[in-house]
Amino acid sequence: MAKQKDLKHFAAIDLGTNSCRLLIATPTTAGFKVVFAFSRMVRLGEDLAQHQRILEGPMNRTILALKFCAEKMSEFNVEHYKAVATAACRMAENRDEFIERIHQESGLTVDVIDESTEAELSLFGCSGLLKPQYPYAIVFDIGGGSTEVIWVSHSTKGSPTIIDYVSVPIGVINQDLNQLTAKTILAPMEHMFEKLSAKNNISSYLAQDQVQMIGTSGTVTTLAAIDMNLKKYDRKYIDGVMVSSNRLLSIIDQLYQMSNDEKLAHSCIGHSRADLIIPGAEIFKCIHHFWPVKNLIIADRGVREGILMKMLQSST
């Protein structure tokens, strides 16, 4: 067996509005094997909507996380890596200054990707969860600074294809979403969803039971963990599980009855998600209102995995 230092290592970093996430992997005949994974909540988009700039505190937290990523990549002798930044950096007026500071302090080069590239990487990362009996799929990602919904054609003969998508600059961090404000704040999202649905005649495919749905976000993975009564979040029980949409809506109703202290004390919510779970739930309810698929496939994967798969494809 090859020693760890003798193996070829690839790395992918996804710098989102809420979290900084790293995967280090080695190629296998089936794709890749993860040898190290890291995720840290940095809240890069904190107060971004008000100031249109990334503030000093979020910058410092993020650069510390990226320094750790760089150290781990050096430890594993990573030969090739790609680091991308999404909604927060797309929106920030000082993004170029921030990206340069990342390079100076961590040595990492980070690319700010557009919405279409983010959608493509998310789909690529989740494609292994698609069920072959459904010709179409809706894949959504409720992020910290934006929400993406992708309309996908899926056949057994080839890779899934993006037919259409929307990216809405509304996420769990950049808007004060709660039961009282959601109807007003989500109106632009509803308008974009309505256009996507009408343009692609999605309702008719739903009526024919030809559509599956994948959700990739901290919101849906947390809801699934609550549904499974996990003592603490564990990816191996969550990634790829199918959960009834009605069951998730029932859990959301229970969350509305919980105090903030109860959310903080919950093993699957805690301090990291106590203030984010309701905003995410409101966005999920909006998605479900337009596309009421009976079951949701939960994905604890996305952009990072998509980056790795693209890198490995291009290296062969």
Give me the number of domains the chain comprises.
Answer: 2
Domain interval for residue 264: 116-303
Residues 133 and 256 in one domain: yes
Task: Give me the mean pLDDT over the 106-127 stretch.
Answer: 95
> 90: domain CATH number?
3.30.420.40
Helix (H, G, I), strand (E, B) or coil at 105: helix
Residues 93 and 158 in one domain: no
**What is the model's pLDDT at position 237?**
94
pLDDT over threshold 90, residue 105? yes
Residues 135 and 275 in one domain: yes
- Confidence band for 184, pLDDT divided at 50, 70 and 90: confident
Residues 103 and 17 in one domain: yes
pLDDT over threshold 50, residue 122? yes
- Confidence band for 6, pLDDT divided at 50, 70 and 90: low
Quickly count: other Cβ atoms within 10 Å of residue 188's Cβ.
12
pLDDT over threshold 80, residue 4? no
264 touches 208 (CB < 8 A): no
**What is the model's pLDDT at position 1?**
39
pLDDT per residue as tens digits for the range 250-297: 999 999 999 999 999 999 998 888 989 998 999 999 999 999 999 999
Would you give the DSSP letter of residue 177?
Answer: -
**What is the model's pLDDT at position 225?**
95
Measured CA to CA in angstroms, residue 316 lies from 7, 28, 88, 312, 313 at distances of 15, 11, 33, 7, 6
**What is the model's pLDDT at position 148?**
94
Encoded tokens for 186: 């989500």
Domain assignment present for 309: no
Residue 104 Cα to chain centre, angstroms: 27
pLDDT over threshold 60, residue 63? yes
Helix axes 277-290, 218-227, angle to 10 degrees: 90
Percent of the chain with pLDDT over 70: 95
Predicted TM-score of the model (pTM)? 0.91
10 touches 33 (CB < 8 A): no
Residues 278 and 201 in one domain: yes
